Structure 1
Amino acid sequence: ILTRVLAGEDLPANRARSTHETTFLIDAAAWPETAADRSPPGLPHALIVMGVSSSGKSTVGQALGRRLGWRFEDGDSFHPPANVAKMSAGQPLTDADRWPWLQAIADEIARCRAQGEPIIIACSALKKAYRKILVGDCGDVRLVYLEGDRELIGDRMGHRKGHFMPTGLLDSQFATLEPPGVDEHPVTVSVDAPVETIVDDILQQLHIGQDRPDCEWNGS
């Protein structure tokens, strides 16, 4: 029953709603899980839109934010100046460069979760180790993976203006990329579609229907 409730099915438990905050007190033994899987419940508090450069993270993240009424932040804005200078010079970042950047994003997600403020952040998050910092053990922080091949994304990058990452670093990004596995419960969508179609796909996979009264964030 709890699995069905958290999936948004029209059951009595989903009809009992406060006008402010609704809290479920759940016995640990009732939590939906199998021996190999523990899926995150309900509406997430944070979405991390991930993928290589020019996969459309900011565009899709902003469109998601408009649809849900959530705040959007570009993860690039959390880079320290030294990282931006390095990438602008065509030099790939090292993991030592990335740790402070990833931690700054993780801290912002933690702050938003503590305050009950939903957020969408665009972040490349190419390695599983990076995503572990961002997501941790939080079941209400979900990954949205924008999947596309080198040819398509390379063509898009070649047409971008004013971005600090040269096209020559794209091969490095694909070499670094570790696509999220099923254990990370990603929402995986193809970038080879119009933005609104991609957003529809994401919302469908998150079980957020446009005709549901609780799909706009209201603090519950």
Structure 2
Amino acid sequence: MASLPPYNVGDLGGGERRRAPAAARNVGAIGDVLAEWLPESGLVLEVASGTGEHALAFARRFPALEWQPSDPDPLALESIAAWGRDGPANLLAPVPLDAAAGAWPVERAAAVLNINMVHISPWAAALGLLDGAARALGPDGRLILYGPWFEEAVAPAPSNVAFDLDLKARDPRWGLRTVEAFAAEAATRGFSLAERRTMPANNLMLLFARPDR
């Protein structure tokens, strides 16, 4: 399906500052929800920052927060750093971070944000995201995700079904996940699904928090 976007930063062509068309389309809508869900202060760890366009935009929009971008891909880290040269002081230098790793370079955060990763990575990366968030977040910490999901009681959009099939054709370990399966794994790590927000283009934003906060 040639109309679907690429899934790796290396697919976005040359140049130091790589651009993902979806980032320009969704940055405003994601930012509006983040304005409600993010804490007033502290460090936000963005896991899988991709090109770095979101990190720059959100650091500018939320100047009271420290913004820590990360990615496991060296090409992504180069792009994030390039965009960051125009960034404010609260935008930190990117760090290499593999969500599935047993230890992360950032040990504490007020919030963990993950945009468009869970469906284009092995399930082990999603579980690693939960494990890392459980280590990094305190009692008031928030785990926030954005992307396309399936839901057991909701008929999937045809475009998401097609997207899921295309992803699995590219890599059988990829594919859209169900909110319920992810939430069940989150619960074993001390998180509950606090809010679900419908987003444009058949995406969702999910807010996970400690249930006793």
Q: TM-score, normalised by structure 1?
A: 0.34
Which structure has the larger Rg over C-alpha atoms? 1
Bigger relative contact order, structure 1 or 2 (CA pairs below 8 A, ≥6 apart): 1
In terms of fraction of residues, the more strand-rich structure is 2
TM superposition score normalised by structure 2: 0.35
